[in-house]
Amino acid sequence: MTPMTKNLPHPRRNLANEIVSVLRSDIISGVINPGEALAEPVLAKRFGVSRAPVREAIIELERAGLVQFETTGRTRVRTLEEKDLAEIVETRIALESMGARLAATHWGPEHTLRVQQFIAEQEAATTDSEFSLLDIAMHEYIMKRSGNERLVVLWQYIRWQFEMALTYIHRLQINTAHDLRRFTVAGHWKVLETLAGRKPEAAAKVMAQHIIGSLEWSVTETTEHPPTAGSGPRKGHVAKMKKGSSASS
Amino acid sequence: MTPMTKNLPHPRRNLANEIVSVLRSDIISGVINPGEALAEPVLAKRFGVSRAPVREAIIELERAGLVQFETTGRTRVRTLEEKDLAEIVETRIALESMGARLAATHWGPEHTLRVQQFIAEQEAATTDSEFSLLDIAMHEYIMKRSGNERLVVLWQYIRWQFEMALTYIHRLQINTAHDLRRFTVAGHWKVLETLAGRKPEAAAKVMAQHIIGSLEWSVTETTEHPPTAGSGPRKGHVAKMKKGSSASS
DNA sequence: CGCCAAAAAAGTGTCGACACTTTGCGTCAC
DNA sequence: GTGACGCAAAGTGTCGACACTTTTTTGGCG
Same-domain pairing of A65 and A91: no
pLDDT of residue B3: 36
Based on the fold, state whether residues B53 and B102 are members of the same structural domain. no
DSSP state letter for A80: -
User: Is residue A235, in this structure, part of any structural domain at all?
Assistant: no
pLDDT of residue B234: 41
Residue B237 lies in a domain: no
Based on the domain organization, do B162 and B71 belong to the same domain?
no
Centre a 10 Å sphere on the Cβ of residue A22 and count the other Cβ atoms it contains: 16
Residue B18 touches partner A, C-beta closer than 8 Å: no
pLDDT bucket at B174, cuts 50 / 70 / 90: very low
CB contact under 8 A, A90 and B98: yes
| Cα A142 from Cα A157, distance rounded (Å) | 16
Q: Which residue has the higher pLDDT, B206 or A221?
A: B206
Distance B39 CA to C4 C1' (A): 29
Q: Is residue A121 part of a domain?
A: yes
Kindly indicate the confidence band of residue B172, based on its pLDDT and cuts at 50, 70 and 90.
low
* Position A182 in a domain: yes
Angle at A164 between CA A159 and CA A167, to 5 degrees: 130
Same domain, A55 and A123: no
Mark whether A86 and A59 lie in a shared domain.
no
Q: Which of residues 187-216 of A touch B (CB under 8 A)?
A: 200
Specify the pLDDT at position B248.
59
Residues B41 and B87 placed together within one structural domain of the fold: no
Q: Residue B105 and residue A149: Cβ atoms within 8 Å? A: no
**A239 has a pLDDT exceeding 90:** no
What is the rounded distance in angstroms from the CA atom of residue B66 to the CA atom of residue A203?
31
Do B149 and B26 belong together in one domain? no
The verdict on residue A38 lying in a domain is yes
Distance from CA of B126 to the nearest CA of A (A): 34
pLDDT for the residue A219: 64
Q: What is the CATH number of the domain that holds B58?
A: 1.10.10.10
B113 in any annotated domain: yes
CB B91 within 8 A of CB B99: no
> What CATH number does residue A142 fall under?
1.20.120.530
Confidence of residue B5 (pLDDT cuts 50, 70, 90): very low
Q: What is the pLDDT of residues B129-164, one digit of tens each?
A: 899 899 999 999 999 999 999 999 999 999 999 999
Strand C and B42 CB separated by under 7 Å: yes
Q: Measured between alpha carbons, how far is residue A61 from residues A23, A68, A198, B150, B153 in Å? A: 8, 8, 36, 14, 15
**Alpha carbon distance A144, B191 (integer Å):** 31
| Residue B115 near residue B210 (C-beta atoms within 8 A) | no
Give chain B's largest Cα–Cα span.
Answer: 61
Amino acid sitting at position A137: A
Chosen domain end from B62, B77, B92? B77
- Considering the domain architecture, whether residues A54 and A137 belong to the same structural domain is answered as no
With a 7 Å cutoff on the CB, does A53 touch strand C?
A: yes
Determine the Cα–Cα distance for residues B188 and B142; give it in Å rounded to an integer: 11
Provide the 3-class DSSP secondary structure of residue B69. Answer: strand
Residue-number span of the structural domain to which A193 is assigned: 82-219
Statement to judge: residues B104 and B187 lie in one domain: yes
Q: Are residues B54 and B175 in the same domain?
A: no
B247 confidence band (pLDDT: 50, 70, 90):
low
In a domain, B49, yes or no: yes
Q: Which of A53-62, A94-103, B5-14 has the lowest mean pLDDT?
A: B5-14
Q: What are phi and psi of B107, to 5 degrees?
A: -85, 140
**Same domain as B70, residue B123:** no
A5 band by pLDDT with thresholds 50, 70 and 90? very low
Over residues A109-129, the pLDDT tens digits come to 999 999 999 999 999 998 888
Does residue B247 sit within a domain? Answer: no
B232 compared with A94, residue with greater pLDDT: A94
| pLDDT for A229 | 41
Query: Which of B215, B93, B233, B83 has its CA nearest to residue A97?
Result: B93
Residue A229, SS3? coil
Verify that A95 and A71 share a domain, yes or no: no
pLDDT at A221 over 60: no
Mean pLDDT of chain B: 84
Q: What is the 3-state secondary structure (H, E, C) of B94-161?
A: HHHHHHHHHHHHCCCHHHHHHHHHHHHHHHHCCCHHHHHHHHHHHHHHHHHHCCCHHHHHHHHHHHHH
Number of structural domains in chain A:
2
pLDDT digits (tens, 9 = 90+) for B183-197: 899 999 999 999 999
Q: How does residue A173 score in pLDDT terms, banded at 50, 70 and 90? A: low
Q: How confident is the model over B69-81, as a mean pLDDT?
A: 93
